Each structure stands twice: as structure tokens, then as C-alpha cells.
A and B are shown apart, each in its own frame.
Chain A
Amino acid sequence: MPDEPDPDVLRRFAQGDLAAFEALFRRFEGDVFRWTVRILRDEGAAEDVLVDAFWRAYRSRARFDPSRSFGAWIRRIATNAARDHLRDARTRRTWVPVVDDTLAALPAVDLHVRDAVARAFRTLSPKLRIVATLALVDDRPHAEIADALGVPVSTIKSRVFRAVRVLRRELARLGVQR
């Protein structure tokens, strides 16, 4: 995560200064984008969520406390926006890639296994899916995930446990054994 900006920039942002907001956007867009790509595995969707997250941040600027970390705040907003994206996609039953071709999955992996993992992931609720992706695939620390979701670390551990149980059951049902 980038270093925290000048307190004066944060104060001006909270007061609605667009130049300060743009400075914050330029500083944090890369971190927010990488974080949302990690969750969604889809660069196009991550761009949409990034725009949504910064729009939400600007709309909520009056509630931002300039003495707190902007990086942590915007990452939490982005995580919520990504979760909403996954929920909307699930409600509309639209395809959300679990294995994004642009992310270059390893070619040696059997097509059946790729498909089974994608199917198993789709059975997870958005909140379990986010935790499973960040903790199991990207190996992010539980404390970092907890901070981004605004929940205790114990909740993350519990969600990882539940996600593993669901994934293992689904993969076994789909005939993937290792």
C-alpha cells in the first residue's frame, strides 16, 4: 500500500476539494486495482469496481476522518464494491470468471480440473469467495483481509474453514481427487 499522503491533502479531500481527490486517486489507484483484480480475477470488472469505489469514497468524503489511513479506508470501500459486484453477478446469474484467460493460468493444468475448480468456486457465496481467493490463492495475511472487510481475524479464519469445506466437497463431487 502506498505511503499515506500529506494530512493537508486528506483534510482538503474531506472538504470536497477535487484536486486533492485526484491526487489521492493517482496515488492509490494502482493499489486498489491490484486488490480488486485479486478478488475478481477479471481486469475489466476490476476497472469498473475501481471507478465505483472512488465514486463511493467521494460521496462519503464527509465521513472520512483525516487522522485515519486513507489507504485502508479506500481498500475497504473497494472490497465492499467488489463484493457487491459478485452479488449482482450471482443475482443476475451472469458469468463471472473464476479463471480469467487474461491472467494466464498455467497451461499444464487439465481442462477438466480448471472447469471443476471454476464450478466449485461458483458455489461459494461472495463473502466466502473473497476470503478463499485472497487467503488460499493469493496467500494474503488474515489480518490484511480482516482489515479490508472490516471484520475480526477470527471471522476470516472461520470463513476460510467454511470455504475449504465447501470447495473440498464440491471438488470431490466433481471427481477431482488429489
Chain B
Amino acid sequence: MTDEDLRLLLRSVQPPIDDRTPTRDLWPRVMERIDGGPTVSAVDVGMAALVAIVLAAYPKLLWLLAYHL
């Protein structure tokens, strides 16, 4: 399969995007997000919980953590 064959195949399955517009006014959602303040992801929460558990089990690792921070 040549590069051009590949391009044609991809375009036949995924037509290039032309003009699209949002289906609704998204400004209120942006304002809600701003008013809600910063969000914390589940990964961040998980990492914080893991660090807390490890520190509770091995308090001496606090110095190692402090060194890396």
C-alpha cells in the first residue's frame, strides 16, 4: 500500500471535516467552569492518597520526599 493509497483509504472512512458549529451556546458552561474553580483529577487524588499511605507506613520517607520536592 503506497502513502497515497493509505491517504485515500483513511479519507474514504473519515471524510475531512468541513464547517462545524457547536450545537448550543457553550459560554454558560465556560462560566460555570470558571466559577467552580480548579478541578482535581482522579489521578491526582489517587497519587496524593498513595503518598499519604506510604508516608503513614514509612514516616522516614518524608525526608526523601522533601529532598525531591
Binding site for B on A (CB under 8 A): 22, 25-26, 29-30, 33-34, 37-38, 41, 43, 46-47, 50-52, 54-55, 58-59, 91, 98-99, 103-106, 108-109, 113-114, 117-118, 132-133, 136-139, 164, 167-168, 171-172, 176-178
Contacts and interface: CB of A to CB of B under 8 A. Distances in A.
A34 B29 contact: no
Interface residues of B, number: 29
Contacts of A46: 20
Contact of B16 (A52, A137, A172, A176): A137
Given A33-B21, A58-B34, 14 more contacts: A22-B27, A33-B20, A43-B20, A50-B26, A51-B33, A52-B33, A98-B14, A106-B12, A109-B12, A117-B13, A118-B13, A136-B11, A168-B6, A171-B6
A-B interface, 7 closest residue pairs, ranked by CB to CB distance from nearest: A55-B33, A117-B13, A51-B29, A178-B5, A38-B17, A54-B30, A138-B16
Chain B residues touching A, majority SS: helix
Interface in B1-39: 1, 3, 5-17, 19-24, 26-27, 29-30, 33-34, 38
Contacts of B13: 99, 105-106, 109, 113-114, 117-118
A47 B12 CA distance: 25
Contacts of B43: 91
Interface of B: 1, 3, 5-17, 19-24, 26-27, 29-30, 33-34, 38, 43
Nearest to A34: B20
Chain A residues touching B, majority SS: helix
B14 A105 contact: yes
Nearest to A113: B13
A50 B24 CA distance: 12
B44 to A, nearest CB: 12
